[in-house]
Amino acid sequence: MSEHQAKTETFFTIEMPYRERMETRRTVFAGSRGPRVAVVAGVHGDELEGLYVCHRLAAWLEELLQSSPDALLGSVELYPAVNTLGLDTLSRGLPVFDTDLNRAFPGSATGPLPDRLSAALMTALSGAALVVDIHASNIYLREIPQVRIDHEFDDLLVPIARRMNLDLIWLHSAATVLETTVAHSLNCTGTPCLVVEMGVGMRITPEFCDQLVAGIVTVWKEMGVLAPDVATPPTSHVPLIADDSNVHYLNAQTSGMFIPTASHWTDVRRGELLGTIVSPFRGDILSEVRSPVDGILFTLREYPLVYEGSLMARVMARKGGRT
């Protein structure tokens, strides 16, 4: 077998109250002389898109190394299932502790379980040349493949994000940043981390996953993780740039059931009907959701039951569009 054969190893373990041990694992493809990169997924236990991306990356690397054992210069680490307990029980957070793991970073090696797991992941990822943390929105909203970047780090991260074969780069102002995420904690300590959001919770969108895989391996090749002569899948997606000035949030005017009439990720016109909210008790329409601008429908409600104020959609205004 090649020296590059993948190894699955435990990076965090803790004894469970009864008998078993919880083990959180990563797969490592180790080269000898290039940079180290990592992909993280499953921080939220209801988000599966990133788990499939890890599988596709592993499959792509295994096939590559079978035909070209020297194609991997650097090291690739895949962390597909960080919140194992959440994934096991179909919960977004860490069960029992009722904690959103992505609000527990940078963690502490002597704290409770969420803190210890966070600290172990920080230690494992620290010093990597690039980390990609993959999220899948949640079960309520469907998203196009995008990178979300805190303005504080845009000089460092936007040039990388532009080459990742995604459709949107969303720059967030510092005020909205959640400082206890794995990405923020890594970026603050000098390890570049991109947050990818795509698809929807509890589902896999294979075409989005393959689109991201193509972008990731293309960036790895440019970074010298892969040999220069490695053939990578074609990339054709050029991201739009969104920020707080051109993203419009559409919230429900009434509670009820949302029935979409527009398709996700399409161009919409100002005033266009995107969906209606109806009641199971009545035959009429309670309220309508209409686009406030000419733009691109890049977020769309997936889960039908809504409360007054629930987010139904996000539309990014086109440049020069009426607002």
| Footprint of Zn ion (CB under 5 A) | 44, 47, 135
Tell me how far, at minimum, the Cβ of 224 lies from Zn ion, in Å: 30
Q: Which residue has the tokens 């991109």?
A: 194
Which parts of the chain are beta strand (E)? Answer: 7-15, 21-29, 36-41, 75-79, 130-135, 141-150, 168-172, 193-199, 240-242, 247-251, 256-260, 267-268, 273-278, 285-290, 295-301, 305-306, 311-317
Cβ 105 vs Cβ 181: under 8 Å: yes
Q: How far is the CB of 4 from Zn ion (least distance, A)?
A: 31
Residue 80 or 295 with smaller CB distance to Zn ion: 80
Q: Which is nearer to Zn ion, 54 or 72 (CB)?
A: 54
Q: Which is nearer to Zn ion, 201 or 215 (CB)?
A: 201
Output DSSP code: residue 141.
Answer: E
Query: Residue 87 Cβ, how far from Zn ion at the closest point, in Å?
Result: 12
At closest approach, how far in Å is the CB of 250 from Zn ion? 22
Q: Which is nearer to Zn ion, 43 or 278 (CB)?
A: 43
CB of 58 or CB of 182, closer to Zn ion:
182
Judged by CB, which is closer to Zn ion: 60, or 140?
A: 140
Q: Which residue is nearest to Zn ion (CB)?
A: 135
Using DSSP, state whether 213 is helix, strand or coil. helix
Query: Considering the complex, what minimum distance in angstroms separates the CB of residue 202 from Zn ion?
Result: 12
We find the least distance from the C-beta atom of residue 44 to Zn ion, in angstroms, to be 4
Q: In whole angstroms, how far apart are CA 160 and each of 154, 164, 220, 256? A: 10, 7, 10, 41
**What is the rounded distance in angstroms from the CA atom of residue 91 to the CA atom of residue 108?**
23
Residue 315 in contact with residue 268, Cβ under 8 Å?
yes
Nearest Cα residue to 217 out of 28, 4, 68, 71: 71
